[in-house]
Structure 1
Amino acid sequence: MQTEKSKKRGALGSYRFIILLIVGIVTGCIIGLIFKEKAVVLKPFGELFLNLMFTVVVPLVFFSLSSSIAKMTNMERLGKILKHSLIFFVITGIIASIFIIIILTIFPPAQGINISLGEYEKPEEINFLTQIVQAVSVNDFNLILSKKAMLPLIIFSIALGYCIRLVIKDSKDNPVITFFDTMSEAFMKMINLIMLYAPIGLGAYFAALVGDYGTNLIGAYSRAIIMFFPICILYFLIGFTAYVYYAAGMEGVKVFYKNIFPAVVTSLATQSSIATLPTNLSITKKIGVKDDISSIILPLGATIHMDGTVLTSLMKIAFLFGIFGLDFKGIGVWTTATLLSILTGVVLSGIPSGGMMGDIMIVSFYGFNQEVLPIIVTIGLLTDAIATMINSTGDTVVCMMVSRTVDGKDWLEKAKLQKAVDVVE
């Protein structure tokens, strides 16, 4: 009997944080609905949470990535992790494209819509090669210590970890590797402390959002926006469930849905994959993904893996086709749209102002008048929250799939056994 009570207390304890998050968010939404614009006064409390997350993410990525690479005894494993992660990034992007194309073909998003183009400010000319260089490098060391330079930081951290491994032949009990490892664990502890404030911070953020925008979030784009939210939810429930089932069977599905909710909430509130990165690192650790896999894939995924962006890009393309009376049908149209969306979601996401570049590329490729750019930019703004949720939670899914390909089908079972051993010790 005592054992059953202990189990109940353990189950309640594991869901306590989720319950607190829900209570905080619901309370924030109610405050926003009641006080409307006045609720914006709470926004600084939400921004405080966001600032804390952004502050810790750079050193966390730096130390976790560098220590993971430095501890690797087999460099082939690093290549395997990177190769499989990139393969899964592209595969999930293609699947997301096929999924939304089927829906958009049956239910055209621009049907019966009449939109005024509004004002348009011509963007600066963009040199693509220059943008690529800026995406992977910076011209001063201090610039790498910024959340705006995540891809250069990731490349630098991997390179540093690799060089440490070359210099230090025996990584066991080495003070340098121990230092990096300790700092990585320390920043994870700091994340745990920051997350204690999450129910208040996210509640305040939602109060400000609801109070500021209210029912005007949808506006003239109602059909496309109303369609997009259930599409993302369906992709999450169907696509992600299938992915994690491939990764670890029904046990993988259970452990995924048991742990993923904090990342869902954080990404919806912050609309930032980078801000959700620390939460994802904590979640993958609880799931049982090895540190060397999660510390490589999650920072990389937060920068260049964007299934939600792929879904948004295809919605934008189908929407423009509908406005101009074009048929969004046929293998050629679908293939081109899929390639454009994957380029936007997987490649351009790592480039500064990549979102705007993707919109410009869509408009230019199809030869649409540049005045339509504000239309698809607005669609992006209105769908950003749920698209970011798909982006960030999708990175955790890829971690689980790569765990299967790198560590074998029984990786989750091994992780559970290792946890049991750690508890005993």
Structure 2
Amino acid sequence: MKRFGLLPRIITAIIAGIVIGTFAPEWLIRLFATFNGLFGNFLGFVIPLIIIGFIAPGIGSIGQGAGKLLGMTTLIAYISTIIAGLVAFFTAKAVYPSILADQAAKAFENPEEALLQPFFQVEMAPIMGVMSALLLAFALGLGMAAVKGNALQKVMDEFRVIVEMIIEKIIIPLLPIHIFGIFANMTQGGQVSAIMSVFAKVFIMIIILHILYLCAQYTTAGTLRKQNPLFMIKTMLPAYFTALGTQSSASTIPVTLERAKKIGIKDRIADFSVPLLATIHLSGSTITLVSCAMAVMLLQNEVYTFASMLPFILMLGVTMIAAPGVPGGAVMAALGLLETMLGFNSTMLSLMIALYLAQDSFGTACNVTGDGALTAIVDKLNKEK
């Protein structure tokens, strides 16, 4: 199963859920609904741990390497991520009314009532609320960045490793079963056709946005450096396809680094910026998260406005620093924001995970390839100073 990648497992789970959900007896669907209830409650328990375990050491480690180059790289990465989120919002707001017309009407007004209920539930109360976890994570991260000692940083780094293991060893392996149960239950309730229609249309829109945003990034970098953007993109293509296969920004760093130097970026700048950007610059993932979140909200008859989405996008830019180097890390780090800022319930969070993971490879590839453009911009701006 380890050789059978996460994306094929997710796709297989969706297909199997739809097929089996059409004829499976009610007791079998309720059995998977019981598993989904337990898994969803466990996910709710882990969300504050994910927030603290990723954001606090992430901010702390960035702050410890303080310097003009660090500040410039971080600022450019944040601006790029926010712009990506805004592009996704305005595109979805303009496009969704036409490509997803009547999708919300096809979904149930009260989807929870259409689904079969679990045999039993086990409460797993989180240790604190999501907002409390965010505030604690920011306080710890900024504090660790300001304090010269590194004892707490080491503790938080080890805590992050523990949380990453929970994601890698428990959550990610069980996600296909969870998604299978969701789609089997939705098929039984007659809701799956609307979901799958949204999946296909949103997926295509996201890929187009990724490509256009990469073109914009390299046009900006090429203009500043007086280089041909098409040459720069062509040079970075091996990094794109490596990320497409590995689904990991961290695993692609050696290729990204080698390609960035071929563009003409100074070794010192590339050696510093590429590994840093692999951690803090997730414009592709942000495009996906915003697009998917708005699709799920539309599907559930929820209203999205610029006033409600802007704070979410701004916070998402910071939270993406917390995204671990594991498949699906970005959506895991964003679950808390989706729950508190956009009011996502367990069903909406599950749909969000399924939508995001279905194209995780492409989001990672966009992130990694964009790192080359941002490194080129940093190199040029640093050179002028």
Give the TM bin, normalised by the shorter chain. 0.5 to 0.7
Pairwise CA RMSD: 3.7
Of 347, 352, 367, the match for 2:343 = 367
**How far did 1:269 drift?**
1.1
Quote the Cα distance in structure 2 between the aligned partners of 1:95 and 1:230: 16
**How far did 1:254 drift?**
4.2
Q: Which position in structure 1 is the counterpart of 2:43?
A: none
Amino acid of the structure 2 residue aligned with 1:100: A
Partner deviation per Cα, 1:68-113 (whole Å, 9 max, x = no partner): xxxxxxxxx9822111101111111122122222211111275433
Give 5+ residue unaligned stretches, structure 2: 1-64, 145-152, 166-194
Q: Which position in structure 1 is the counterpart of 2:206?
A: 228
Residues 277 and 298, structure 1, Cα contact 8 Å, conserved in 2: yes
The 5 Å alignment of 1:9-408 reads: 79-108=67-96, 110-113=100-103, 114=107, 125=127, 127-128=133-134, 137-139=153-155, 219=196, 221-237=199-215, 239-249=216-226, 251-330=227-306, 332-345=307-320, 347-349=321-323, 355-408=331-384
Computing the radius of gyration from Cα coordinates, the structure with the larger value is: 1
Amino acid of the structure 1 residue aligned with 2:224: A
**How far did 1:143 drift?**
10
Residues 340 and 362, structure 1, Cα contact 8 Å, conserved in 2: no
Q: Structure 1 length normalisation: TM-score?
A: 0.53
Amino acid of the structure 2 residue aligned with 1:96: A
Partner deviation per Cα, 1:220-251 (whole Å, 9 max, x = no partner): 522222221112122222x22322224312x2
Residues 97 and 314, structure 1, Cα contact 8 Å, conserved in 2: yes
Amino acid of the structure 2 residue aligned with 1:368: F
Q: In 2 relative to 1, CA 230–375 (structure 1 residues): closer, same or farther, beyond 3 Å?
A: same
The 5 Å alignment of 1:1-16 reads: none
Identity %: 22
**How far did 1:142 drift?**
9.7
Give 5+ residue unaligned stretches, structure 1: 1-76, 150-217, 410-425
Aligned length: 261
Residue aligned with 1:106, SS: helix
Q: Which moved more, 1:311-320 or 1:82-91?
A: 311-320
Quote the Cα distance in structure 1 between the aligned partners of 2:202 and 2:221: 29
Quote the Cα distance in structure 2 between the aligned partners of 1:123 and 1:380: 26
**How far did 1:337 drift?**
3.6
Amino acid of the structure 2 residue aligned with 1:138: K
Residue aligned with 2:67, SS: helix
**How far did 1:123 drift?**
9.0
Residues 316 and 337, structure 2, Cα contact 8 Å, conserved in 1: no
Residues 218 and 373, structure 2, Cα contact 8 Å, conserved in 1: no
Residue aligned with 1:138, SS: helix
